[in-house]
Amino acid sequence: MRTKIVVGNWKMNKTVEEGVGLTTAILELIGDGMADCEVGVAPPFTALDGVKRAIGRSGIRLVAQNCHHEDDGAYTGEVSVRMLDSLGCASVILGHSERRQLFGETSAVVNLKVKKALGAGLQAIMCVGETLDERERGVTEELVTGQVREGLDGVDDLENVVIAYEPVWAIGTGKTATPGQAQEVHASIRRTVRDIYGETVAGRLRIQYGGSVKPSNAAELFSMPDIDGGLIGGASLKAEDFAAIVRAACC
């Protein structure tokens, strides 16, 4: 039985004060209702410290949205895994489609980051997913399989890896993949992982779905056999919506 994992990706939203307020509101709404699953919030770098304090001992995981693949040095504007670790981050989102599309991140770079994050003891949430054009051309499986293989190249242990399947056409668009569409790709990701790492590792790996998850569609998506929770963008900015999605995963 895999523990469901729900993470709110706040992207470039929320000041420190706003982030602390949102975290406090989420905690009030969730209460002790997340005993059976893993819940995380991913504020912008600037709010990590403040949100960490607001999280306190609640068990919510502090998640970063990105990191650099070098330890330190002349990389203006970048943040290393050691810095994230020192802030109390438990996880880092890597290879989000916005990083790939807007900042030119390739799977090779994502792979370097995954290895660096794992080496520092952080959980790596590695995002994969196809564009609308790729889906319409019928290359979804090939594309996603390639992203998984490249992203995990040289990674021996998947214990601290989560894969987030996020069809690009569903992110922030209000268009959600149907549970069937999402399940099909999740199953194919698990097959790819099984081919590389074997049955046991594939059976343990958690694969989140991301792309316009809302309180109204969360339960159905999370009920699919290979969907182990969600990476939530827009809906994670509203405490009520995020708490409802967490409830859908945790019960």
Decide if 166 is catalytic: yes
Distance from C-alpha of 163 to C-alpha of 38, rounded to nearest angstrom: 14
DSSP string, 139-204: -HHHHHHHHHHHHTTT----TTEEEEE--GGGTTTSPPPPHHHHHHHHHHHHHHHHHHH-HHHHHH
Q: Of 144, 202, 232, 248, which lies in the binding site for ligand PEP, with binding defined by CB under 6 A?
A: 232
Q: Which residues pair with 164 in a beta bridge?
A: 127, 208
Q: Of 8, 129, 210, 229, which lies in the binding site for ligand PEP, with binding defined by CB under 6 A?
A: 210
Q: How far is the CB of 172 from ligand PEP (least distance, A)?
A: 4
- 5, 40 Cβ separation under 8 angstroms: yes
Binding-site string for ligand PEP from residue 160 to residue 199, where x marks contact by CB under 6 A and - marks none: ------x----xx---------------------------
Distance from C-alpha of 210 to C-alpha of 97, rounded to nearest angstrom: 11
**Does residue 40 touch ligand PEP according to CB under 6 A?**
no
**Does residue 95 touch ligand PEP according to CB under 6 A?**
no
Q: Of 212, 217, 239, 249, which lies in the binding site for ligand PEP, with binding defined by CB under 6 A?
A: 212
Q: How far is the CB of 100 from ligand PEP (least distance, A)?
A: 12
Burial class (CB in 10 A: 0-12, 13-18, 19+), 125: buried
Decide if 96 is catalytic: yes
Which residues would be at the binding site for ligand PEP (CB under 6 A)? 9, 166, 171-172, 210-213, 231-235
- List residues with catalytic annotation: 96, 166
